Amino acid sequence: MAFSKLTDCLYVVAGGVFPKCNTAVIIADEVVVIDPGCEVEDLRRLLISLDLNLKDIDTVILSHIHPDHITHAARLQRLSNCRIAANEITAPLFNEKEAMKQFLGFSKSNPVRKAWEQLVNERMYGALDEGRVDEVLSDGDRFSFGDITLKMLYTPGHLPDHMCIEIIEPNLVFASDIDLTEFGPFYGHPNSSIGDFKESIRKLQHGKYNGLISGHLKEPLVTEYIDRLTAYSRQIGIREDLVLSAIIGGAKTIPEITATPIIYPSFPNVVYLQFEKWMIEHHVASLVAAGLVSEDKGKLSSI
């Protein structure tokens, strides 16, 4: 089944792995959709099963600006005239897609930009459509919909604008891209931060929730999430050890490290290799800051 019922008011439409995502749906005083990146037909089927349709959506909430999480937002807004809510960083990026591209590192001077745009348009069609955010959110802001209350929780690292959404009454958290997948944390943009990501993971571990809703797991509700977050965070250290090993083994530059990909070892397309480069750059900076690697005129060496 493409969707599951978590409570009388809360459903998740499974989108799964990138370039889709899991979409939370709340049926209360309003029809609320969080991160509309699932198959839109699966979302429609859920609503029809509840005697509703896409035109009945009142509010769309965006956790962050990644294309797989905003895919259908602009089109749902055109269809239903729903309001879109996003935080103060996400909002202007959604409203101005050129700003979004630059925020994600794909400025006009980036040679991979056209390939990234093609990937988005082919696999996340609609994410680059023009739209508007009607309500700007801040950390700690609350939405109340009948018996359901949502609270915004700022959790940067994956991207500076990433936020989770606490669902207060059933005491769950929609964790979006703190997703507990086997791949591990993704911090593949110039403005991502390993340190912030670790801190956001710790924040969720201390949340005392009844469960975590992943943005990408096939089975989205995770009740034993604290241990899973520990294993998920451990992937960062494993990657950093591999980067250090490559430098100890003689790699002197970022291109020499990425010649044998660590994050995406299956040699994917140039967009994924760009993500690899940015993630390796974050690890090198972390190793330099820890005093394990030195950098002199672009040349790396272990200490």
| Residue indicated by tokens 């940015």 | 278
Q: Do residues 44 and 53 make contact, with C-beta atoms less than 8 angstroms apart? A: yes
pTM score: 0.96
Q: What is the pLDDT of residue 47?
A: 97
Beta-carbon count within 10 A of 137 CB: 22
Which letter, b or e, does each residue of 3-19 get, where b requires 16 or more Cβ atoms within 10 Å of its Cβ? beebeebbbbbbbbebb
Separation of alpha carbons 293 and 34, rounded Å? 42
Contact partners, residue 45, CB within 8 Å, separation at least 6: 2, 3
Q: What is the pLDDT of residue 260?
A: 92
Domain range summary for the chain, segments of one domain joined by +: 3-223, 241-302
Q: What is the pLDDT of residue 1?
A: 58
Separation of alpha carbons 124 and 112, rounded Å? 17
Predicted confidence (pLDDT) at residue 231 exceeds the cutoff of 70 = yes
Domain over 3-223 is classified CATH 3.60.15.10: yes
Bridge partners of 59, per DSSP, are 32, 83
Q: Average pLDDT in the 97-113 region?
A: 98
